[in-house]
């Protein structure tokens, strides 16, 4: 019964070594699944809230002719800081070699932009219309080395309320 | 104080222009927030700590702009624009600028 504990020991050591060397890949795949579920939940909430807010239009124009008289106007601001997961960053590294559209990144920025517009609308729920809507994206840090790579999306517009006509 | 980002105040007549007013602030994140954001950064998604930080900074910038307009005797700021610049790794500058006006 002498070799039994020995082989078990070497098996455990091999396992530990494999785990240590494979851990970057394990983390990568774990972040893929976690990141995907976060994205899925975020899209679900964005779609639900967008359905609730479709009755208040946001426009990039600033022409109010033909509209009822305006009672009040105020500035509405919404912003979000969003980051990409490790897997997508790794994927983008590969994409950089071949070129083409970075689908994994565009979905992240798309989420941020829609979230920012929704937050802008939620900041002024009593408005009738949002005019001169501007969307701005800025990179806070590019994520090289130990820095946290994230970008900020800001949406702002003038929220106007029209005079209510008695019907 | 009425703030808009269009060239007029809908429903009001502008009687006097006071010119450009601006407010800015440079903010750095702190270690506690950085730690949480670093963990969140692995799986992606919104970095709530940073969102709060940017919101506070923008509020401060626009408060400074409003203060400047009040000193001039204005009662509204039109055509407001926001810009963000990352000055260095981990610090961001917020700038808010607009035209101070008085309406009748």
| Chain B residues whose C-beta sits inside 8 Å of any chain A C-beta | 2-7, 9-11, 34, 37-38, 40-47, 50-51, 53-55, 58, 80-86, 89-90, 92
Q: Is residue A70 part of a domain?
A: yes
The span from the CA of A93 to the CA of B53, in Å, is 29
Residue at A34 is within a domain: yes
Range of the domain at B48: 2-103
- Give the pLDDT score at A6: 67
Range list of β-strands (E), B1-104: 2-3, 14-28, 45-46, 76-88, 91-103
* Number of domains forming the structure of chain A: 1
Confirm whether the ipTM is greater than 0.90: no
For chain B, what is the largest distance between any 2 Cα atoms, rounded to a whole number of angstroms?
A: 54
Residue B95: CATH number of its domain: 3.30.110.70
**For residue A145, what is the DSSP state?**
T
Query: In this structure, what DSSP letter does residue A58 have?
Result: B
Q: Are strands B91-103 and B76-88 parallel, antiparallel or unpaired?
A: antiparallel
Question: Measured between CB atoms, does A116 come within 8 Å of chain B?
Answer: no
Q: Quote the pTM value.
A: 0.83
Query: Is there a contact between A128 and A56 (Cβ–Cβ < 8 Å)?
Result: yes
Q: What is the pLDDT of residue A167?
A: 52
- Domain span at residue A127? 3-162
pLDDT at A134: 92
A130 and chain B: CB distance < 8 Å anywhere? no
If one counts the domains in chain B, the total is: 1
Ranked by mean pLDDT, which of A97-111, B43-57, B62-76 comes out on top? B62-76
- All residue ranges of chain A with pLDDT < 70 are 1-6, 141-148, 166-167
β pairing state of B45-46 and A70-83: antiparallel
Establish if A21 belongs to a structural domain. Answer: yes
A38 in Cβ contact with B44 (< 8 Å): yes
In a domain, A167, yes or no: no
Share of chain B above pLDDT 70, in %: 95
Query: What is the per-residue pLDDT for A166?
Result: 60
Choose the closest CB to B5 out of A81, A152, A157. A157
Work out how many CB contacts closer than 8 A connect A with B: 124
Instruction: Report the pLDDT value the prediction gives residue A164, as an integer from 0 to 100.
Output: 81
């Amino acid at each position: 019964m002498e070799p039994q504990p020995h082989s078990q020991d070497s098996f455990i050591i091999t396992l530990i070594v494999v785990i240590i060397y494979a851990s970057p890949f394990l983390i990568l795949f774990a972040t893929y699944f976690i990141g995907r579920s976060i994205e899925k939940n975020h899209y679900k909430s964005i779609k639900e809230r967008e359905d609730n807010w479709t009755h208040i239009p946001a426009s990039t124009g600033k022409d109010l002719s033909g509209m009822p008289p305006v009672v009040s106007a105020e500035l509405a601001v919404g912003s979000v800081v969003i980051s990409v997961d490790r897997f997508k960053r790794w994927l983008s590294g590969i994409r950089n070699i071949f070129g083409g559209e970075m689908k994994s990144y565009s979905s992240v920025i798309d989420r941020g932009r829609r979230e920012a517009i929704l937050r802008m609308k939620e900041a002024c729920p009593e408005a009738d219309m949002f005019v001169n809507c501007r969307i701005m994206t800025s990179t806070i840090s590019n994520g090289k080395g130990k820095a946290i790579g994230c970008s900020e999306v800001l949406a702002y517009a003038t929220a106007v309320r029209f005079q209510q006509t008695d019907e | 104080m009425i703030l808009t980002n269009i060239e007029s105040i809908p429903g009001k007549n502008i009687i006097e222009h006071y010119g450009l007013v601006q407010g800015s602030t440079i903010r750095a994140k702190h270690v506690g927030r950085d730690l949480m954001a670093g963990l969140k950064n692995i799986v992606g998604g919104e970095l709530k700590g940073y969102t709060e930080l940017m919101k506070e900074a923008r509020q401060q910038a626009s408060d400074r702009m409003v203060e400047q307009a009040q000193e001039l005797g204005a009662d509204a700021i039109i055509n407001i624009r926001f810009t963000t610049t990352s000055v260095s790794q981990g610090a961001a500058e917020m700038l808010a600028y607009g035209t101070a006006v008085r309406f009748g």
